Amino acid sequence: MELLSFDIREQLPGWSLTLDVPQITEEILQRNPILFYLESDGSYIKLPIRNARMGYTANVYKNVGKVYVTFKSIKDGVSHFYVPNWHLKKLKVLIIKSRDQKIYGDWGINPSKSTIHKSLTNAGININDYEEVLRYLSNIASIDFKGHFIAKMPKKKRKTTLKAYVKEQELHYTA
């Protein structure tokens, strides 16, 4: 198992986060469950979440080498919700690579959200409790802490403008 920690405060306030996570390869996406937790007020909240107190939902999307977190207003589920920089601090990414039966059951090689959730629930573990999940998993397999990273604001692509150069033309009248 691999654990990564990202300081996300430099990307807030904002309605989305973009993180470079090179540990998420095509193989990891296809074969391994990945759990995500946001740190808020000294505790960790499992993604996806619905935070009624603050008025937003947060969803996580993953791709090869990237993680995206978006925040939407609970009111309509569509409008962006700008999370204040004091509200969230870190994003924890837990990549579960262990093939232990206690974690995976008999599900084979295709990961499924419900399978990892069901396995942890059957073991009496609250998947929403980050510390409890870590304690349980660390008793089954070693957790390799890959480091704490600062998630910088993504650089915006520069717009290239084409400058039109007009060559002076002479008009000759012939009759």
Report the distance separating Cα 28 and Cα 84, nearest Å: 32
For residue 140, tell me if it sits in a domain: yes
Q: What residues make up the domain containing 79? A: 2-150
For residue 123, tell me if it sits in a domain: yes
**Tokens 């996806």 belong to residue:** 48
CB of 20 within 8 A of CB of 93? no
Predicted TM-score of the model (pTM): 0.78
For residue 170, tell me if it sits in a domain: no
pLDDT, tens digit, 9 for 90 and up, residues 93-104: 999 886 655 565
For residue 116, tell me if it sits in a domain: yes
- Range scoring the smallest mean pLDDT among 6-20, 35-49, 58-72, 152-166: 152-166
Report the distance separating Cα 31 and Cα 58, nearest Å: 24
| Peptide bond before residue 13 is cis, with ω within 30 degrees of 0 | yes
Residue 101 has a pLDDT of 56
Report the distance separating Cα 70 and Cα 68, nearest Å: 7
Instruction: Tell me 159's DSSP state.
Output: P
pLDDT, tens digit, 9 for 90 and up, residues 103-150: 655 444 444 455 777 888 888 999 999 999 999 988 888 888 988 888
Instruction: Tell me 156's DSSP state.
Output: P
For residue 110, tell me if it sits in a domain: yes
Tell whether the model's pLDDT for residue 28 goes beyond 80. yes
Please state the rounded mean pLDDT for residues 77-83.
94
Tell whether the model's pLDDT for residue 166 goes beyond 80. no
CB of 80 within 8 A of CB of 72? yes
Residue 148 has a pLDDT of 87
Q: What is the tally of structural domains in the chain?
A: 1
CB of 116 within 8 A of CB of 96? yes
95 or 152, higher pLDDT: 95
Burial 125-147 (b: 16+ CB within 10 A, else e): bebebbeebbebbeeeeebeeee
